[in-house]
Structure 1
Amino acid sequence: MKRYHLFEWEDQPWFPDVLRRNMTDYLRFMITKLGIYDPVIPLIKEMLEKTGQREILDLCSGAGGGLETLQPKISAEMGFEVPVTLTDKFPNLEAWQQIETESKNAISFEAKSVDATNVPENLTGVRTLFSSFHHFTPEQAQAILQDAVNKKQAIGIFEGSGKQYHELLFAGLLFPALMFGITPFIRPFKLSRLFFTYLIPAIPAFTLWDGVVSVLRMYSPKMLSEMTQKLEGPPYVWKTGYAKHKSGNKVIYLIGYPV
C-alpha cells in the first residue's frame, strides 16, 4: 500500500485541546486493553541490552498508552525496574498524572513540551515512539531518526498496524461502534468525553477520520529502511519489519542502536 500524507485533525495546532485529549485517551484505552504492542517487548529488550541503558524515553506519548502495560513486562524481562519518561509536544498532563500514580512512579513524565526532532540533551534513555511516527512528513521523520543518531541514542518506532487494506475496513466500520460502547469505562472520567461522544458526536467522527488516515500515512518497513540509509553519523544497527500479535495483526517496527 502506498503512503498518502493526508490531513489529520489531531495534528493541527488549532484543534481544540479538549477533543485532542479525549481522542488520545480513547487510543490509550484500546492499546492497553488489547495488548497491541506486546510483540515488541523482545525488540525493546534488545535495545536496552545492546546499549546498556536502563530507562526508556517515550516521545510523542499522547495519552501514554503504548508503555502503560509494557513497562512492568519489560522490567520483568530485564530483571530490574525500567523506568519510563513520557513526553509530547502537547503534554497530556491529566492522563500522565493518573499513569504515574497507578504505576507507583515507575512511569513519570516531562511536563514541558518536547520536540521529537530536537530532544533536549538532558533527556536520555532508549527512545520509543508508539502510534505516532506516521504523523510526521518524510522530512520530519528523517529528522527524528537523525536526532537520535546525533545524540547516540537507541530508538524504536512502533506502529500498531500492518498497513493492510482490511485495517481500513476495521477502522471505518468498528471504530464508531466501539467508541459508543466503551466511552463510559475510559479513565480518567470526563463529562466532556460524554458530551462530545453522545450529544455532539465529534470525538467518534474525528477519530474515525484520523484512524483511517493514520493507516494511509504509515511508513512501510521498506520506507523506514530507506530512511536509515540516508542517516549520517556513527555506525548503527538497524532492523525493520513486522512483529506479529497473537490476534494475527501485525505491528510495523524499526529499531536502531549504536554499534
Structure 2
Amino acid sequence: MRFRLHLFELEDQAWFPHVVRQGMMDVLRFMITALGIYKPVVPLLLKGLAHTRQTQLVDLCSGAGGGIQQVWQELEQQAGQRFTITLTDKFPNVEAYRFLAEQTKGALRFEETPVDATAVPDSLTGFRTVFSAFHHFRPQTATAILADAVRQNQGIAVFEGAGKRWYELLLVWLVFPWAILLLTPFIRPFTWSRLFYTYLVPLIPLGTIWDGTVSLFRLYTPEHLEKLTAAVQAPHYTWHIGRARHWSGTGVIYLVGYPS
C-alpha cells in the first residue's frame, strides 16, 4: 500500500465512550506485548539513545502503554543499564499507567494531565517515542510533532506495529476477532466493563477491527516519512527511516531522529 487515506478512527472521536476506548487500547497493549511486536526496533532505539546519551524517555500518545513495558525490559537487558520512561497522552489512561508503574517499580512513570505531542512541556525532557499512534495525525500535525522535538533539541523515534501490507488486512479481519474473544479474560488490570463491552455488547472487538483497518490505510510509509522530515527543515538532525522485520512476517515502520 503506497497510498494513504485519512479515514476516521473511532477512538479519535470526542463522543466515543471513554470506557470502550480504554478497553480497545488495553486489548492492543496485551496483543502487542504477547506478540513481541516492537522487539525488532529496540536496537534502533538504543542507537539513538546512545548517540544522545539519554537514559530517560518520554513516550507520547501512550494510549494504554501498548508494548512499552516490553520495550523497557529489552532496553535494560540489551544495554545493561537502567532506563526510565514517562508515559503521556492527550487522553491519559491513568488506570493502565498505574498498573504499569507498579509492575516496573516506578521505572515507567506517567503524567496524569493531558500532554499535547505538538507542544510538549519543557519540563518533560528525554528521548521521545511514539508507538502505534503517529498515523492518527494528518501530515501538518505529524510534522509539528517532529518539529517540536527539533525545537527542543530532543531525539524522537516513531514506530508503527505494521508494515502497511495488503495481507495485514486479513489479519485484522480474520484473526483479531477470535484473538480478542479468547484473550480478553487474561488482560490485566481486570475490569468488568471490558467483559461487558466484549461479550454482551461487543463494541470493543467491533471498534478494534474498524480502527485496525483504518489504521493500515492511515499509516505513513517510509517514503511519506521522508517527506515529513524534509518539511521539518532540520539539516542538523540525522534521520533513519525504514521497515524492521518481525518474526511473524509483518514489518514495523520506523523513524528515528536525533541531533547530529
Distance in 1 between the 2:144 and 2:83 partners?
A: 27
Match in the other structure for 2:53? 52
> In structure 1, the residue corresponding to 2:48 is in which secondary structure?
helix
Distance in 2 between the 1:142 and 1:14 partners?
A: 26
1:42 aligns with 2:43: yes
> In structure 1, the residue corresponding to 2:253 is in which secondary structure?
strand
Q: What is the deviation of 1:234?
A: 5.8
Match in the other structure for 2:106? 105
Alignment deviations for residues 119-174 of structure 1 (CA, whole Å, 9 cap, x no partner): 00000111000000000011110100010111111000000000000001110111
Q: What is the deviation of 1:101?
A: 0.4
Match in the other structure for 2:244? 243
CA contact (8 A) 1:149 1:234 kept: no
Amino acid at match of 1:229: A
Amino acid at match of 1:165: W
Q: What is the deviation of 1:233?
A: 4.2
CA contact (8 A) 1:150 1:233 kept: no
CA contact (8 A) 1:28 1:66 kept: yes
After the TM superposition, which residues 65-76 of structure 1 pair with which residues of structure 2 at under 5 Å, given as runs? 65-76=66-77
Normalised TM-score (structure 1)? 0.98
Match in the other structure for 2:199? 198
Q: Which runs of 5+ in 1 are unaligned?
A: none
Amino acid at match of 1:4: L
Normalised TM-score (structure 2)? 0.98
Match in the other structure for 2:219? 218
Distance in 1 between the 2:235 and 2:83 partners?
A: 26
Q: What is the deviation of 1:66?
A: 2.7
> In structure 2, the residue corresponding to 1:213 is in which secondary structure?
helix
Distance in 2 between the 1:58 and 1:16 partners?
A: 24
Distance in 2 between the 1:233 and 1:132 partners?
A: 23
Instruction: Give the count of matched residue pairs.
Output: 259
Q: What is the deviation of 1:54?
A: 1.3
CA contact (8 A) 1:234 1:258 kept: no
Distance in 1 between the 2:105 and 2:17 partners?
A: 31
Match in the other structure for 1:89? 90
1:125 aligns with 2:126: yes
**Root mean square deviation of aligned Cα:** 0.9
Q: Which runs of 5+ in 2 are unaligned?
A: none
Match in the other structure for 1:15? 16
> In structure 1, the residue corresponding to 2:86 is in which secondary structure?
strand
Distance in 1 between the 2:172 and 2:235 partners?
A: 40
CA contact (8 A) 2:42 2:71 kept: yes
1:166 aligns with 2:167: yes
Q: What is the deviation of 1:76?
A: 2.2
Q: What is the deviation of 1:73?
A: 1.4
Distance in 2 between the 1:246 and 1:233 partners?
A: 34
Match in the other structure for 2:157? 156
1:24 aligns with 2:28: no
Amino acid at match of 1:172: W
Distance in 1 between the 2:121 and 2:46 partners?
A: 24
Q: What is the deviation of 1:75?
A: 1.4
Alignment deviations for residues 196-233 of structure 1 (CA, whole Å, 9 cap, x no partner): 11111111111110000000000000000111111134
Q: What is the deviation of 1:79?
A: 2.2
Amino acid at match of 1:186: I
Percent identical across equivalent pairs?
Answer: 53
CA contact (8 A) 2:10 2:16 kept: yes
Distance in 1 between the 2:165 and 2:42 partners?
A: 23
Distance in 2 between the 1:157 and 1:119 partners?
A: 16
Moved segments of 4+, more than 4 Å = none
Amino acid at match of 2:124: L
Amino acid at match of 1:111: E
> In structure 2, the residue corresponding to 1:230 is in which secondary structure?
helix
Distance in 2 between the 1:23 and 1:58 partners?
A: 19
